[in-house]
A and B are shown apart, each in its own frame.
Chain A
Amino acid sequence: MPTSSAFRSQIVSDRGGSEYVSRFLNSEVKMALDRERSQKFTWAASTPASAMATANPDPQPEILSITLKAPIRQPQSRFLPQNEWEGVVDKIDLDDASFSARLDDLTNPGTPQEYAEFYLDDVRQDDRPLVQVGAVFRWVIGKREDQFGTIERTSKIVFRRLPAYSLADIEKANARAERLSSGIRGE
């Protein structure tokens, strides 16, 4: 019986280097075999790797069925932020589908304030109603490394859903304001 590692390496070559399938099977097939020992798994796992490669260079349907039966798990990846800003929307240009914002560099405090224009397309659909003058967002640039070690540079704009003003907060502020406006004398 071939070892699971031989099986995996064969799939990699059959799929023309599709690392996603190979890694998926790497963990999932082994786990499923250990746990269930079903007929299909046994067959797939016991098929000689060399036979699969010569008989049909394309992936075997049985193998696909294994992936479907196996527990579904999202591919693991990690995001490493490299630079983060807090932005405040300054202007919105609907004709150009863009907005401009003032940015404070949170990664390098003390950096002079920066100013950028972004396309609205780069804002998640869910966040677009939040794009208003004065709205606050985080802009994060970083590296996304997937489970195969592939590194991709990414940029994310996430609008903050700040708590609404409460009546109590406003009343407290207004009381302070009243003391100021009535207490300061002028001539």
Chain B
Amino acid sequence: MPERSAFQVVSAANKYGTGPHAQTLEVTLIGPGFGESVLVHVGDGCWFVVDSAQEDRSGRSAPLVYLEHLGIKADALKAVVISHYDDDHIRGLAELVKSAADAKVITSTAFTSSDFTRLVANVVEDKTRRGRTGADEANEVLNHLLDTGRGLTWALSQRSINLEAFQNLSHGQTVRFSTLTPSDAEVTNFMSWAASVMPKAGAARRRLPKRERNDVSFVLLVEIGPVNILLGADLEEEDRAETGWTAVLASRAGQPWPRSSLYKVAHHGSETGHHDHVWQEMLTTKPVALLAPWMNGGKIVPDINARRKIISLASEAYTTTTARIPKPPRRERAIEKTIARNTKTFRTAEPVQGLLRARAGRI
């Protein structure tokens, strides 16, 4: 008989009600919209957040807005995790990091590498740009860290991070917080990419192209007594020993994994984010699976095959929003006809944002 997950999805609506009880675990996933973010209540009003998303209506950091709805102040955040640099994971990040002034900021060494900071500084320096981008968020965070002297905690492959605020909680359970990636090869890949798109004197200005691979996206394993949570970030599988899930699975050197009963499905539930052995070795037989889909133009992740696979592997699988591309806003009919005549496809790029909340009763 499949092992029952400790988690129950209690809300998928935008009426948030009240915050979790001191001894109740909560995992809230917000996305997609402009970004994806995961909030976790560990106990006694102590939270951590992975990445940021921009709230649709206000443009503010969505996890902060969510906490405000629950009447919780930003100082409840004891750690802010920046899983990787990607436009769809760091919108609103500067507001988040500044508001959670006492939180540990956990990220990979790539975030302050000279290649990445040079790339960000050059993009931000470009006065021909319009609007705010992920580079502006990263730049603001980096400058805040420099100005305040606030240090970073590095996420490394198989690193256990001591978060004092998560110790001696009233539920009496030990909390272990581990980063499972990035591997050295992932960091090197990312820095090579940053160097390859670095502006060069005399070259025509262009906007920073989107990084197709999610290098340095790191996976978190959180063990709270008997309950484990696996947050897959955007890790993808390349079938290479030194990167992706293959590298994670090999990093335990044959030791069994603590099995997680809740899984934030990696990389929006895409085929490339999937590895059979993650489900076989790192998760309980039938975990609760949460995912925020990803949409870009006409492409939707997860596709129907990936959705079926996740449903077959999880006891319950939830998505923050329907896999449907919203229609563009209505315009004058003549304009709509001209758009249709002059484009192959035309869509809204930003999907409707949703929220999933899973809670595990008193542990």
Q: Which residues of A contact B (CB under 8 A)?
A: 82-83, 86, 88, 90, 98, 100, 102-104, 108, 111-119, 122, 130, 132-136, 141, 143, 153-155, 160-167, 169-170, 172-174, 176-181, 183-187
Asked if B112 CB lies within 8 Å of chain A CBs, one says: yes
CB of B200 within 8 Å of the partner chain: yes
Contacts of A134 in B (CB 8 A): 206-209
The 6 A-B residue pairs with the shortest CB-CB distance in the complex, in nearest-first order: A134-B206, A115-B297, A117-B344, A162-B205, A155-B342, A177-B117
Contact with A117, one of B117, B143, B204, B297 (Cβ below 8 angstroms): B297
Closest to A176 in B: B121
CB of B4 within 8 A of chain A?
no
A133 to B204, CA, bound (A): 12
Do A119 and B344 touch across chains, with their CB atoms under 8 A apart?
Answer: yes
Kindly state the separation between the CA atoms of A118 and B297 in the bound complex, as whole angstroms. 12
Which of B209, B334, B346 interacts with A153 by CB under 8 Å? B334
Pair A174/B205 contact, Cβ less than 8 Å: no
- CB pair A117–B345 under 8 Å, yes or no, is yes
The size of the chain B interface, using a CB distance under 8 A, is 60
A113 engages B350 (CB within 8 Å): yes
Docked Cα-Cα span, A167 to B203, in Å, equals 10
Do B349 and A187 have beta carbons less than 8 Å apart? no
Nearest residue, chain B, Cβ from A160 = B128
B347 close to chain A: CB less than 8 A: yes
Contact mask B309-333 → A, CB, 8 Å, 1/0? 0000000000000000010110110
Tally of contacts, chain A with chain B, CB under 8 A: 169
Q: Do the beta carbons of B154 and A122 come within 8 Å of each other? A: no
Residue B253 interfacial (CB < 8 Å): no
Closest A residue to B328 by CB, please name it: A114
B207 x A181 contact (CB < 8 A) = no
**Shortest Cβ distance from residue A75 to the other chain B in the assembled complex, whole angstroms:** 22
Q: Give the interface centre of B112, B122, B342 by most chain A CB atoms within 10 Å.
A: B342
Query: In the complex, which residue of chain B has the Cβ closest to the Cβ of A154?
Result: B338
Known: A183-B146, A186-B151. A162 touches B209 (CB 8 A): no
Task: Say whether B143 contacts A180, CB under 8 Å.
Answer: yes
Q: In the docked arrangement, what's the CA distance between A163 and B335, Å?
A: 32
Is there contact, CB below 8 Å, between B130 and A174? no
A167 to chain B minimum Cβ distance, whole angstroms, is 4
CA distance A100 to B345 in the complex (A): 9
Cα of A137 to Cα of B141 in the assembled complex, Å: 30
Pairwise interchain contact A83-B152, C-beta atoms closer than 8 A: no
Q: Does B170 reach chain A (CB closer than 8 Å)? A: no
10 CB contacts below 8 A, A to B, read A115-B298, A135-B206, A164-B201, A164-B205, A165-B205, A170-B122, A170-B200, A177-B117, A180-B112, A187-B151
